[in-house]
């Protein structure tokens, strides 16, 4: 007996595109992502202004920030954003580079696909090339030690060149290297020990390194002490008030006595809270939630310094810095869980008051206080500082650095081509394309600086062919020079991570020949449209 019913594999609302269409569509979307960040690459790259649906504005040059703010939805494009995110978390810099290499690898793969080369051959060739590129990279990178402070500062400066921070990069590079050296613990560097805080007013150049924690909070009451020595800090993540606004309580009161009773009860409860804090010997309270007026009054009377609505992440930093523990209940509060610091004080910064916690139990705790005229400026400075911090830390972690300005990319490409010659199959073509994808970095650096990319590439290649492996594009002079001497230096890890994630995502996208998307997955976009939303 035969069954005439059609075979239903998937519900109707599932979108499916297959084969070449799927592949081309994914490649196109991924390339579009690379295209977006391309113009920001390098010291002469431009900035982007991103406007959120609520009208908030971000002006930035930072690859990962741009892509995150864009709310990209295409699945393959999202994979590219992941590349930037990985780069950011692993190194903290080089996000544009990583995304651009990935985009170019895919663009070049398309050429091979057009020439009827099978995707598996391309991915095989790309893998061979990526492995070889890592080996070459290791061979030509240079060693540094923590004592090479000048070089570390140059690395920080290279990462800030062309960013909002450029004007003060000398000073910032000193702050960065000093901060990183201070947080060193047995050869390890935990950037969580550095808190970045912003104070509006004064110039960017007044940005400073402060040992201890700086908190963008004033004390809740004028009657509290301005400065406290021998600080014993209670860190609490619940409100010091009674009414929980989330719970509507109804009370029925029929006489004035009842009302008075009720108010008395409330006062009693608050008094009890403050007494518990006093009993724990705390003289400072950092509270994640609100503090009731009456509680403020009582705390001030007890000579306690208190801040309210301290961000959870800040509480965590303070806990780490002062050796305290965040408590969720007053019964947990005792002398053991209090954080210790030599001084807690309120300091006026421009128009605002801030709280400084100095002489923390953990001397590794540092703050960088960014000054600047507007939020947007300070945010971009923060991103540049984070790039610099990430670069210096990763240079120290691996002890390896490379010449920038495209020098390293050209040298790897040159040696990859030689390696390609030793291969017999069609993978050779893929290795070639891999090499040319790397050359896209100096090409774009030149293009963004208004130079002729073909001239630049030709000269760079011939200089490298004649053995000048540190020849790169110096965008201070707009000349091809020995960039090592020009001190344009970058951490090895930027490049190794970028090559690694870029080739991974490119091969992953190339292997896909079927996209099955269900509507429920929140995919308002059809898989067939290469629309990158958010930036119409």
Rounded Cα gap, residues 325 and 361, in angstroms: 13
User: Quick one: 433 or 481, whose CB is closer to ligand ADP?
Assistant: 481
Rounded to 5°, angle at Cα 304 from 301 and 310: 125
Picking from 232, 225, 215, 229, the residue whose alpha carbon sits closest to that of residue 356 is 215
Region 205-244 residues binding Mg ion, contact defined as CB under 5 A: none
DSSP states along 369-416: EEEESSHHHHHHHHHHHHHHHHHHHHHHHH-EEEETTTHHHHHHHHHH
Minimum distance between the CB of residue 416 and ligand ADP, rounded to whole angstroms? Answer: 18
CB 325 within 8 A of CB 234: no
CB proximity list for 251: less than 8 A, separation 6 or greater: 262
User: Quick one: 193 or 470, whose CB is closer to ligand ADP?
Assistant: 470
User: Quick one: 346 or 490, whose CB is closer to ligand ADP?
Assistant: 490
Select from 288, 349, 474, 496 the one that contacts ligand ADP (CB under 6 A).
474
Minimum distance between the CB of residue 94 and Mg ion, rounded to whole angstroms? Answer: 6
Burial of 398: CB neighbours in 10 Å, binned 0-12, 13-18, 19+? middle
Rounded Cα gap, residues 395 and 490, in angstroms: 8
Query: Taking CB positions, which residue lies at the least distance from ligand ADP?
Result: 404
Q: Say how many residues make up the chain.
A: 536
Minimum distance between the CB of residue 328 and ligand ADP, rounded to whole angstroms? Answer: 40
The one of Mg ion, ligand ADP, none whose footprint includes residue 475, by CB under 5 to 8 A per kind, is: ligand ADP
Q: Does 437 bind ligand ADP (CB under 6 A)?
A: no
DSSP state of 449: T
424 CA to centre of own chain? 42
Q: Does 93 bind Mg ion (CB under 5 A)?
A: yes
The one of Mg ion, ligand ADP, none whose footprint includes residue 444, by CB under 5 to 8 A per kind, is: none
SS3 312: helix
CB proximity list for 108: less than 8 A, separation 6 or greater: 433, 434, 436, 437
SS3 per-residue string spanning 172-196: HHHHHHHHHHHCEECCEECHHHEEE
Rounded Cα gap, residues 236 and 215, in angstroms: 15
Piece of the chain touching ligand ADP by CB under 6 A; list 95-103, 132-140, 428-436, 460-468: 95-103
Rounded Cα gap, residues 506 and 437, in angstroms: 11
Q: Does 96 bind ligand ADP (CB under 6 A)?
A: yes
Select from 133, 475, 484, 506 the one that contacts ligand ADP (CB under 6 A).
475
Piece of the chain touching Mg ion by CB under 5 A; list 87-95, 113-121, 236-244, 428-436: 87-95
The catalytic residue among 379, 387, 444, 507 is 387
User: Quick one: 59 or 423, whose CB is closer to ligand ADP?
Assistant: 59
Binding mask 156-195 for Mg ion (x = CB under 5 A): ---x------------------------------------
Told to judge if 374 belongs to the known catalytic residues of this protein, a careful annotator would answer no
The catalytic residue among 40, 60, 65, 96 is 96
Told to judge if 248 belongs to the known catalytic residues of this protein, a careful annotator would answer no
Binding mask 377-406 for ligand ADP (x = CB under 6 A): ---------------------------xx-
CB 381 within 8 A of CB 406: no
Minimum distance between the CB of residue 410 and ligand ADP, rounded to whole angstroms? Answer: 11
DSSP states along 482-513: ETTTTT-EEEHHHHHHHHHHHHHHHHHHHH--
Select from 30, 33, 38, 43 the one that contacts ligand ADP (CB under 6 A).
43
Piece of the chain touching ligand ADP by CB under 6 A; list 7-15, 242-250, 328-336, 468-476: 468-476
Rounded Cα gap, residues 30 and 289, in angstroms: 43
Rounded Cα gap, residues 306 and 303, in angstroms: 10
Q: Does 409 bind Mg ion (CB under 5 A)?
A: no
Q: Does 93 bind ligand ADP (CB under 6 A)?
A: yes
Binding mask 121-160 for Mg ion (x = CB under 5 A): --------------------------------------x-
Query: Taking CB positions, which residue lies at the least distance from Mg ion?
Result: 93
Strand 305-307 relative to strand 284-287: parallel, antiparallel, unpaired?
parallel
Select from 330, 473, 506, 515 the one that contacts ligand ADP (CB under 6 A).
473
Select from 385, 389, 445, 532 the one that contacts ligand ADP (CB under 6 A).
445
User: Quick one: 93 or 481, whose CB is closer to Mg ion?
Assistant: 93
User: Would you report the helix, strand and coil content of the chain in percent, each value rounded to 5?
Assistant: 50, 20, 30
Select from 127, 161, 531, 533 the one that contacts ligand ADP (CB under 6 A).
161
Q: Does 292 bind Mg ion (CB under 5 A)?
A: no
Could you list the residues that contact ligand ADP (CB under 6 A)? 40-43, 45, 61, 63, 93-97, 158, 161, 404-405, 441, 445, 473-476, 488, 490
Positions marked catalytic: 62, 95-96, 387
């Amino acid at each position: 007996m035969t069954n005439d019913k059609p075979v239903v594999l998937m519900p109707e609302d599932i979108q499916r595109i297959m084969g070449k269409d799927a592949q081309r569509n994914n490649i196109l979307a991924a390339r579009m992502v690379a295209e977006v960040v391309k113009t920001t690459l390098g010291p002469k790259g431009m900035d982007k202004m991103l406007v959120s649906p609520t009208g908030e504005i971000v002006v930035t040059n930072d690859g990962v920030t741009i892509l995150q703010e864009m709310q990209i939805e295409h699945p393959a494009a999202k994979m590219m954003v992941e590349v930037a995110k990985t780069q950011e978390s692993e190194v903290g810099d080089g996000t544009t580079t990583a995304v651009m290499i990935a985009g170019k690898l895919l663009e070049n793969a398309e050429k091979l696909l057009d020439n009827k080369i099978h995707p598996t051959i391309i991915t095989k060739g790309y893998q061979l090339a990526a492995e070889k590129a890592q080996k070459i990279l290791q061979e030509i990178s240079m060693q540094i030690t923590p004592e090479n402070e000048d070089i570390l500062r140059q690395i920080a400066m290279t990462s800030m060149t062309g960013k909002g921070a450029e004007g003060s990069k000398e000073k910032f590079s000193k702050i960065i290297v000093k901060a990183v050296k201070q947080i060193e613990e047995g050869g390890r560097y935990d950037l969580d020990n550095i808190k970045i805080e912003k104070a509006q007013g004064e110039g960017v150049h007044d940005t400073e390194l402060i040992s201890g924690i700086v908190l963008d909070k004033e004390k809740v009451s004028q009657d509290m002490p301005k400065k406290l020595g021998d600080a014993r800090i209670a860190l609490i993540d619940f409100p010091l008030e009674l009414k929980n606004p989330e719970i509507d309580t109804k009370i029925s009161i029929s006489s004035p006595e009842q009302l008075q009773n009720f108010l008395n009860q409330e006062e009693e409860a608050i008094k009890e809270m403050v007494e518990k804090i006093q009993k724990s010997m705390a003289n400072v309270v950092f509270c994640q939630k609100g503090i009731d007026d009456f509680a403020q009054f009582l705390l001030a009377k007890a000579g306690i310094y208190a801040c309210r609505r301290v961000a959870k992440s800040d509480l965590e930093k303070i806990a780490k810095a002062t050796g305290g523990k965040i408590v969720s209940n007053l019964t947990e509060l005792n002398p053991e869980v209090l954080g210790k610091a030599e001084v807690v004080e309120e300091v006026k910064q421009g128009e605002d008051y801030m709280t400084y916690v100095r002489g923390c139990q953990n001397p590794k705790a540092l703050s960088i206080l960014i000054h600047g005229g507007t939020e947007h400026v300070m945010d971009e400075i923060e991103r540049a500082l984070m790039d610099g911090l990430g670069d210096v830390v990763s240079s120290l972690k691996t002890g390896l650095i490379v010449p920038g300005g495209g020098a390293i990319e050209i040298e790897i490409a040159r040696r990859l081509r030689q390696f390609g010659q030793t291969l017999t199959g069609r993978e050779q073509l893929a290795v070639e394309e891999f090499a040319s994808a790397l050359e896209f970095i100096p090409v774009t650096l030149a293009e963004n600086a208004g130079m002729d990319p073909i001239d630049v590439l030709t000269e760079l290649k011939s200089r490298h062919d004649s053995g000048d492996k540190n020849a790169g594009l110096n965008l201070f002079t707009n000349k091809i020079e020995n960039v090592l001497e020009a001190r344009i230096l970058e951490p090895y890890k930027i490049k190794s991570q970028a090559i690694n994630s870029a080739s991974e995502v490119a091969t992953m996208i190339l292997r896909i020949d079927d996209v099955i998307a269900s509507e429920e997955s929140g995919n308002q976009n059809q898989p067939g449209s290469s629309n990158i939303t958010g930036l119409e």
